[in-house]
A and B are shown apart, each in its own frame.
Chain A
Amino acid sequence: MNYLDALVMHGPRLWDGLLLTLQLTVVSGLLAFVVAVVLGLMAGSTKLLVRLPARIIIEFFRGTSLLVQLMWLFYVLPLFGPSLGAMLVAIFALTLNYGAYGAEAVRASLTSVPQGQWEATAALSMSWPHKMRRIIFPQAWALMLPSLTNLWVHLLKGSSIVYIIGMSEFTFELLQLRRTTDWLFALAIVGLVVYFIIALVLTQLMRLFEARSKYKLGRGPSLKEILSPVLTNKISPADEPAAVAPGGAR
């Protein structure tokens, strides 16, 4: 069987595997973001009763491996609790695991917002939710995005581990294909390229968010300026965006 035939024959299964990988990456990624923000805010609290539970959850999920978490949830939990099914278990474990790492990034970036900003919100008698939503978080956002992007790419690659609870994601299907051909090298390249492309899309997407958040803080060009060479196929003078004052930022 030649390589192309094998690829065509396995095409549908590879495609399904790819979709599952993407599903896990996007769904767990978004949920992990929510978990990271909630735990990160809690972990940054001055109140021990708020901080402690967050710390316990963060340290637990960072301190035990994803593999073990998956096995516990999938094989052990059903022995004395509910059986959640592979998809739920996979999303649950990926979400909490990467959410715990993300929480550290969120907490660290909140503490990096200058003390003076916190004091200015206090001098204006802003409530906690108000200052967080309108002042502190938007500034921390620009700081946390690079770490969150990294974690998201890790999640993409790390999601292949769900094969151990019987889920046929992309890497698994690729390895299946290997059994019927000896095109190990070629297959490895397919895997490499596919993961690389997905990761590239994720990081570029996140870089746009990052640029936008920086522009809102008065640092760097606007999204329009960044995208204009792409959209209009023109190269804009490199020194122009920095020279214009980012007035009217919303």
Chain B
Amino acid sequence: MPTPTDAKPAMPVIEFRDVEKQFDTKTVLKELNFTIERGERVTLIGPSGSGKTTILRLVMTLEGLTDGYIYIDGAPLVYEQRDGKRVPVSKRQQKLLTTRIGMVFQQFNLFPNMTVLENIIEAPIHVLGINKRDAIDRAHQLLEKVGLPDKTDAHPTALSGGQQQRVAIARALAMDPEILLLDEVTSALDPEVVVDVLQVLRDVAATTDVTMLIVTHEMSFARDVSHRVMMLDGGKIIESADPETIFTNPAKERTKKFLAAVLRDA
């Protein structure tokens, strides 16, 4: 079983503290508390609507936070406590933190007005300020890594879904994120290409120490790459353990039922 690379034992890289999320009047997450250590790869599982995507989107600041706090490397991401009051953090601070976070989406979301290479180098050059030459070199390395070295000048619309998703992974990695968020990145793909994309991610997991927060229905993938699996139900984490325990001997009846249903469908 894999273990987290033990760097500084100090700060968790992600911490949710009493997080609450409502959409209009509907409470999706309530009193959610968890931490993720540096280099840890954590998979969120749970039934549809349990709030998995919402958790990732909160970390990426794509959703507003109704209550509570999220810390990245110990620094408040959305709200902070000052003089006993809950106040929003500055835009600058938030941007500083979000540049360390990357996300890959179910629908790839490549920019159709740019080539593959341009998709990858755009943010490194204009957001991180890396010079163009270096950004292009790095993009070539990443395209090699995801198995698409010959697609540099291709247009996203000319690529298959699996190829687009691999470019999207390269684009996210080009920002050198400390945290990588993956939301069902193979759900929109044809079954035959799912394995290619998962292989790329296994490779990323094996060769980098990027912290990963993963939502997936691919249980064997989750089992292989995760250090820990968190079972979510009704906006709460009902069980959190290493994949071996979760998949073979879960503590909660709810987890057992959920896994039985998922594995039967697979």
Residues in B neighbouring A150, C-beta threshold 8 A: none
Across the interface, name the chain B residue whose C-beta is closest to A138: B113
- Complex: chain B residue closest to A124, CB-CB: B123
B221 interfacial contact with A, CB 8 Å: no
Q: Are A248 and B99 in contact (CB under 8 A)?
A: no
Tell me the interface secondary structure of chain B in the complex. loop
CB distance from B106 to the nearest CB of A (A): 9
The answer to whether B115 and A249 touch across the interface, beta carbons within 8 angstroms, is: yes
Known A122-B60, A122-B62, A126-B127; contact A116-B109, beta-carbon cutoff 8 A: yes
Asked if A218 is at the interface of the complex by the 8 Å CB criterion, the answer is: yes
CB-based nearest B residue for A139 = B113
User: Does A130 reach chain B (CB closer than 8 Å)?
Assistant: yes
A130 and B115 in contact, given A116-B107, A119-B109, A246-B158 (Cβ under 8 angstroms)? no
Complex Cα spacing A28 to B243, Å: 66
Q: How far is the CB of A27 from chain B (nearest CB, A)?
A: 30
Tell me if B153 and A125 are in contact (CB < 8 A). no
Residues of A within 8 A of B103 (CB): 123
Q: Is A164 an interface residue (CB 8 A)?
A: no
Q: Give the shortest distance, in Å, between A209 (CB) and chain B (any CB).
A: 14
Q: Tell me if A154 counts as interface (CB < 8 A to partner B).
A: no
Q: Give residues of chain A (94-134) contacting chain B, Cβ–Cβ below 8 Å.
A: 114, 116-117, 119-120, 122-127, 130, 134
In the bound complex, CA of A123 to CA of B62 (Å): 8
Question: Inside 8 A of A139's CB, which chain B residues have their CB?
Answer: 112-113
How near does chain B come to A101, taking the closest CB pair, in angstroms? Answer: 26
Given contacts A116-B109, A123-B103, A247-B115, contact A134 B157 (CB under 8 A): no
Q: How many A residues, CB 8 Å from partner? A: 25
Q: Do the beta carbons of A219 and B157 come within 8 Å of each other?
A: yes
Report which of B60, B105, B109, B155 forms a contact with A218, defined as CB distance below 8 A: B155
Answer whether A249 and B99 are a contact pair too, CB < 8 Å, given A119-B109, A120-B105. no
9 more A-B contacts (CB under 8 A) besides A124-B171, A139-B112, A218-B155?
Answer: A117-B109, A122-B60, A126-B126, A130-B127, A134-B126, A139-B113, A218-B158, A245-B155, A246-B158
Using a CB–CB cutoff of 8 Å, the interface residues on chain A facing chain B are 114, 116-117, 119-120, 122-127, 130, 134-135, 138-139, 216-219, 245-249
Q: 21 A-B Cβ contacts within 8 A?
A: A116-B105, A117-B111, A119-B62, A119-B109, A120-B109, A124-B175, A126-B126, A135-B122, A216-B113, A217-B113, A218-B112, A218-B155, A218-B156, A218-B157, A245-B155, A245-B158, A246-B155, A246-B157, A247-B154, A248-B153, A249-B115
